[in-house]
Structure 1
Amino acid sequence: MKVLVIGKGGREHAIADAAHRSRLVEEVFVAPGSYGMRNVATQVDIAQDDFESLIEFAKENEIGLTIVGPEDALAAGIVDAFEAAGLKIFGPSKAAAQVEASKDFAKKLMKKYNIPTAAYQTFTTKDEAVTYVRQQGVPIVIKEDGLKAGKGVTVATTMEMALEALDIAFDIPGNQVVIEECLEGFEFSLMSFVCNDIVIPMEISQDHKRAYDNDEGPNTGGMGIYSPVRKITPEIVAQAMQEIMVPMAKGMKEEGVPFTGFLYGGLMLTDDGIKTIEFNARFGDPEAEVILPRLRSDFIEVITNIMDQKVMDLEWDDMVTLGVVMASENYPASSTKGAIITGLDEVEGLVYHMGSAYKDGNFVTDGGRVLIVVGVGSTLEEAYDKAYADVKKIKCDKLFYRSDIGKKDMKGNA
């Protein structure tokens, strides 16, 4: 079959790569994609929000399956549009994508179906929110409602930080803000293939959200990641599935908004058990870039089977993958365009293009997070060494990266 991947970042590069390796697939297209994906997919110059043109392309090229990467396309209803046109597409409907598009929607579902999460309140006015924060004290978590590309969350350790976050949030007319208790523990990502109430878990990964070493600086979309996570045992995964992932899928079906696609659970192992930090309606980024290279099962076969309500056991490579994000200077506050990147041809491991472009014979920066370099090893230490050896081969005076991805978790984890 022919497969179309919607999106243009590192996640979509990893999805296209996995589809390219499938025995069921004869050709992969990615729209709009990027030049860096040319080794696994044919780039199609159609914007991810141009549903009419995407549908026309899918029909003309007899696309057998479309896979959606970015959350904004899902929230805008791309799945509804494709299904109305009689096309097969893997992703949640606009209504189901609210599990990410509206934090209040997700929290209400978690509360109704007894899914463990942080205590919270939702506010629509700044004065009430400020009063609540002053009553609760710090640390406290402030989340702007809506899609924020992995950002829009402030873990306020001082009252000044909390009040500043509220100023920013309520500067947007009509904005809702969810204010949560601050959980403490070990954070990890659990993604699953989902169709209605069938939920098939993937391997665990741990993202590093802060911009700088030692988990300092602002929240980002993710600066690095590794998989698997030895601290999260099969027993913990089974508990998370039983208490969080399966109840959420069943709850959404019960509510009349059944979920199909990649359901992302951002979870935390606390002293009081596993708690839900957030749900996302799509594959995580950078999670896709370290999880999919470890999937031995046929990626497209898994998707087509679950859409046909068939369950299959997944096979995984027991190697460790560790990804280091190379981001534009001043990310996440700003990004760069046009800075020349060299040394990519010297890299021995995997590179996924998150925000690059190709101009005048050179790769150049074209976004906030630009590249993710993935090392593969038999231990976390080996994957770390390989990833950073490759990172050092890549030269660009406008890129920075963290030097400590996976470092604090090596002892007892590798």
Structure 2
Amino acid sequence: MDRDGSGKRTPSGDTSIARSISARIEEACGLARAIDLDVVQAGAVPVKAVRPSTLVGSGKVDEIAGIVKSQEVGLVIVDHPLSPVQQRNLEKAWNCKVLDRTGLILEIFGARARTREGRLQVELAHLNYQRGRLVRQWTHLERQRGGLGKTGGPGETQIEADRRLLQDRILRLERDLEKVRKTRDLHRAKRKKTPVPVVALVGYTNAGKSTLFNRLTGAGVFAKDLLFATLDPTLRQLELPQGQKVILSDTVGFVSNLPTTLVAAFRATLEEVIEADLILHVRDIADPDTRAQAEDVYTILAQLGIAQDGHDRVVEVWNKTDRLEPEALASMREVKTGEAAPILVSALTGDGVDQLLKEIAARTGADENPLTVTIRPADLGRLPWIYQNSQVLAREDMEDGAVCLTLRAAGAVREKLEAIGRR
């Protein structure tokens, strides 16, 4: 299945949308510029058969070597996973540093991390990446330890020692991140006791999430036209037009072919998305590649256990409408995605934000009057579901064992609770 131009799910023989070559090149250049690299040349290299030693054929290796030498290039980025052997051989052939896609994203994450949690997650992902590249990293590891004074190259014993050092550090980081996860769990538990819905922003990197976050909350989060401008999660309180409050969470942007090690390392951060009452999927609707980007986001959400079809927690927010021609914008207003229309906004100008706030209120039950429901003793097993799917404002335990709840809920959940209360 893939999405047509409207964003609807449509039958197809393929399970994904092919990203255009020009879009992939532009994104790779954007990743490079995100850490202030000067891109002197970029292009696509057709690979008919993968070479285990160098990925591409010897002729192309020699051609790129000539470009590197003539333009005095210090770094070549290959927007594709490289094995340790391929990376090593290409660095030798080109006489410069080589980074693959994962290595480049790790460099960006390292530059963006500001909190202790962010730095821990980046280091964990980086060490897992390094594990398979110990031979080429040996000198670096020795420098970190202060050196052993050996004059020869590393032997098998030394590499094994380095592996143990890496593994020990990885285990320590995982323990530290587990503490972070437990702390976040405690914070979420406290938030649930004070029933305030949590709304999470997700989306492809550079879709405008942080700009929208700032527009809604006035938080002043770093928002720039850069890939991965936001890395560390940010939580702020948002007051809706009816006076009700929700917590808005801005998270790291997603990207195509995001390595599974990065998804795993950032799971503590992404759990804010998993536990959210409402997920706003922010799309750069003016980007020609928006359909493929949306598929990438849904792929990662699926890895987090959030299904795409029929998930009433996910609302699509089509951002950057200020970049559209009036005719294109008018036609998009007629589009549906699933059961609900997307919310069209411009985080830059504020257009459509009022409608978005109304949608948030409707989806979180903030626009509904409080509902009082009495749960009979025989139905107390429903309490966990009620707490998970509604905003409980007050609770009174009755002498006969029944529980009286005052709560807010929307849509089908409210109807079900009303039916329970009528029994």
Question: TM-score normalized by structure 2?
Answer: 0.28
Higher relative contact order (CA 8 A, sep 6+): 1
Specify which structure has the higher proportion of strand.
1
